[in-house]
Structure 1
């Protein structure tokens, strides 16, 4: 956010300047919702919460240098305040104002949605766009009614691209986010089973994801996955130009204005994939360029081709896009994060979230990481919000682990017994534990130096605790740990 007066802030959010406040006082840059993150000049937004109320921290924010606070009721603190009926809605209004003024000066907003892969693709898109100009993208998964506007408020006069990750737990959510940060480019990655319990059917999920392309202007670009029938069908729901991407073939049959695809896909022994990136259409001569990804997993090929399509739709050249993808590294924690202990144990931490599609991708990846003389172990927990089919989905995940010849499966959570039941017919060890602590204690005694262990579950289980415990165990034995993005490159 560029600095503005308190009066202009009040106008932007539909609020009132508190009595006695000089409306010409300036606030910005910076918008924060955590008093611990306040820096001099920042605007502090006092959000309500289940356990804490942001209004209780206005004084702390003022002491840290906040120039103003956005509140629903005046607080007896000597800091300029703008009073609004709803601070969440006001934050969104401020983001809309920030983005609207920046768009008039050339800002390009890219929206990304999908049942899985949003955050990883967002990171790759940011890496691509940064090659062309200053880019703002959310840290982690800031993809809801608070995270998305908060990210948008980081836009300033120099920002050329804003990458907006858009999540949904119901119909209308993405449409609302698109009104806050109107996209010029919108990418739909896939339609899967994430949040199936909340939506009720996969058709409803597709309906919700398509709200992104419905919000695009005729001059914009809808970037659609040609390998997903429900996604490519969204071409009929948009007035924008269509860029179709595929990891299987030239999506010429789609009739898209721009086509982007991969061929000659191959992996090294650490599951980093390389491929030839192709592009055709949109007034450009057919061309190709090599890409060698540094991020891990075959699913990253689709994410990378989607990111390439976004970059090309935004006007970047193919060579620049390919080079950016080849240098991109993981930016968000607990997503296919691979670490090796000095004693040799490898830990694949993909514990940020889980659904049937991402669980399958992670199991395939870890199975391919098997090392000579070592075992593959899966430490899994619940995939949440799957509705009445949850038990069956967990049994299917366990069965897939067995098919992939995982050597041992250990599980926690409500559906842990279903994961074990799906794996058990393999005859290989399968164990359910009532707590994370019990699971960790078992793994410490069972894992060997050449083993690879996958840790994955939905966010609600915070299963990164398992990975952290295993990684931290090495220093206790007198050794240092090397992260995948650190001194030792996987």
Structure 2
């Protein structure tokens, strides 16, 4: 396999100067994750300057680095490409990578479901050809160009997650990716702290159309109340609209689904074609997002049958519903569902619906451990409290909560299911750890800034199987 980049190609893409000849296998910006053959991009931020870590990256095996000058402690003939601005240089590499690959590019955004849909597209497209996709949630002004710069030249299908929490952020990302197909999973009240209305969020999501060439496609959720607004924006840019959902007239239409604790079976029409397929992760939201996946697969020219078969192997991404079986030293085990990466009202309701599907063992309980949903603005308390009915309807037996906004939900719950509420995840963790027992199903969810991952870590430490000699 050819090198991902040569030093000459990097210099040509960036307009920089290569101080030596070298080949690159991968591109990184975190010196702690450098492996042999990597190319380290020395980004400068408000707190950290990547140039301070170039020597460390080279010592760890990096083939070279993108820099604005030769850093202290680095030889003049080291594997460096010197540019005026490393962030601009990374963007230049992204443009060059996009230009050199004969790729069908798919952009994915939405208030919820971006990462899961991106991961499902990666799984679904892979049987049809070399597929490249964003890692984790690399969906911002650094993650998107990095993902492009990492794209092998032989890639046939590229899937790029694009996120935003302010107006104007998606436009430059879309123009960098230039997707042939733009997917918007849904529009919901997320990041309301930065928007005057949900309609304004829809308009910001529509910025993903900015980089789609005329004649491209927009894959839109017909069941979402903002569908018409998004469809008008897509049509204004000369895009074909492919609707998905449950409504008659959807190009990809859900006919039926069977929800099970560890999977979902989907019966759908894709155009005139009837498909029944399994998704290897539970939840109605996965079924709905799979409709968007099927629309994008068809539009990309990939094989629908192979895509449908591949989705059976889909697993929840880390922090987004991944389940762990924790074996207790006292005997037995409980199931821990990690939803700690992010949260919004819509994704909370989806997690509660999955909790309702769960099957605790004999005398086991359904337990919810919840942290604040952040960036919801002035209505944050009301949006938290408004989840009470959905949580109770899930059949939850016990609720632990932390954070100032989650207190509003906690106090709206019936007294018998209240475990306790604390100010933060650190102080809540010991209470949860003490409460769990054999056969329980425990879901932990909150926004990333609520640090619910620390509770996941605490509960995983209870696993006697991991600590066995």
Does TM, scored on the shorter chain, surpass 0.5? yes
- Does 2:460 align with 1:471? yes
Structure-2 residue corresponding to 1:323: 309
Structure-2 residue corresponding to 1:251: 249
Q: Distance in 2 between matches of 1:143 and 1:396?
A: 29
Q: CA deviation at 1:347?
A: 1.3
TM-score, normalised with respect to structure 2:
0.91
Structure-1 residue corresponding to 2:420: 431
8 Å contact from structure 1 (residues 291, 322) kept in 2: yes
Check 1:476–1:319 CA distance in 2 against 1; reply closer, same or farther (3 A cut): closer
Structure-2 residue corresponding to 1:225: 221
Further displaced range: 156-165 or 57-66:
57-66
Q: Distance in 2 between matches of 1:48 and 1:349?
A: 33
Trace 1:87-106 onto structure 2 (pairs within 5 A): 87-102=86-101, 106=102
- Does 2:443 align with 1:451? no
Q: CA deviation at 1:142?
A: 0.6
1:275 to 248, 266, 282: 266
- Does 2:403 align with 1:407? no
Q: CA deviation at 1:75?
A: 1.5
Q: Distance in 1 between matches of 2:264 and 2:198?
A: 30
Further displaced range: 292-301 or 25-34:
25-34
8 Å contact from structure 1 (residues 271, 298) kept in 2: no
Q: Distance in 2 between matches of 1:215 and 1:50?
A: 29
Q: Distance in 1 between matches of 2:446 and 2:254?
A: 30
8 Å contact from structure 1 (residues 288, 318) kept in 2: no
SS in 1 for 2:275: strand
Structure-1 residue corresponding to 2:10: 9
Q: Distance in 2 between matches of 1:156 and 1:288?
A: 34
8 Å contact from structure 1 (residues 277, 322) kept in 2: no
Check 1:220–1:117 CA distance in 2 against 1; reply closer, same or farther (3 A cut): same
SS in 2 for 1:110: strand
- Does 2:111 align with 1:119? no
TM-score, normalised with respect to structure 1:
0.87
Q: CA deviation at 1:34?
A: 1.9
Structure-2 residue corresponding to 1:237: 233
Q: CA deviation at 1:457?
A: 0.5
Check 1:305–1:157 CA distance in 2 against 1; reply closer, same or farther (3 A cut): same
Structure-2 residue corresponding to 1:141: 137
Q: CA deviation at 1:50?
A: 4.3
SS in 1 for 2:182: strand
Check 1:251–1:326 CA distance in 2 against 1; reply closer, same or farther (3 A cut): farther
8 Å contact from structure 1 (residues 144, 167) kept in 2: yes
Q: Distance in 2 between matches of 1:222 and 1:477?
A: 46
Q: CA deviation at 1:478?
A: 7.5
Q: Distance in 2 between matches of 1:4 and 1:412?
A: 47
8 Å contact from structure 1 (residues 72, 84) kept in 2: yes
> What is the alpha-carbon root mean square deviation over aligned residues?
2.3
Structure-1 residue corresponding to 2:103: 107
Q: CA deviation at 1:3?
A: 5.0
8 Å contact from structure 1 (residues 250, 260) kept in 2: no
Q: Distance in 1 between matches of 2:467 and 2:205?
A: 49
Check 1:309–1:63 CA distance in 2 against 1; reply closer, same or farther (3 A cut): same
Q: Distance in 2 between matches of 1:338 and 1:60?
A: 36
Structure-1 residue corresponding to 2:348: 359
Q: Distance in 1 between matches of 2:446 and 2:244?
A: 29
Q: CA deviation at 1:228?
A: 1.0
Trace 1:45-56 onto structure 2 (pairs within 5 A): 45-56=41-52
Q: Distance in 2 between matches of 1:184 and 1:237?
A: 16
What is the aligned length? 457
SS in 2 for 1:405: coil
8 Å contact from structure 2 (residues 399, 418) kept in 1: yes
Structure-2 residue corresponding to 1:291: 277
8 Å contact from structure 1 (residues 272, 298) kept in 2: no
Q: Distance in 2 between matches of 1:249 and 1:271?
A: 26
8 Å contact from structure 1 (residues 226, 251) kept in 2: no
Q: Distance in 2 between matches of 1:107 and 1:477?
A: 43
SS in 2 for 1:373: coil
Q: CA deviation at 1:367?
A: 2.2
Displaced runs of 4 or more, over 6 A: 476-480
Check 1:374–1:251 CA distance in 2 against 1; reply closer, same or farther (3 A cut): farther
Check 1:50–1:462 CA distance in 2 against 1; reply closer, same or farther (3 A cut): farther
Q: Distance in 1 between matches of 2:262 and 2:10?
A: 49
Check 1:169–1:2 CA distance in 2 against 1; reply closer, same or farther (3 A cut): farther
SS in 1 for 2:128: coil
Q: Residues 135-191 of structure 1: CA distance to partner in whole angstroms, max 9, x if unpaired?
A: 111121110111111111121222111110000122221111112111011101100
Q: Residues 269-315 of structure 1: CA distance to partner in whole angstroms, max 9, x if unpaired?
A: x15211212111xxxxx121211111122211011111111111111
8 Å contact from structure 2 (residues 170, 204) kept in 1: yes
Q: Residues 375-399 of structure 1: CA distance to partner in whole angstroms, max 9, x if unpaired?
A: 2111100111111111111111244
8 Å contact from structure 1 (residues 13, 90) kept in 2: yes
8 Å contact from structure 2 (residues 256, 268) kept in 1: no
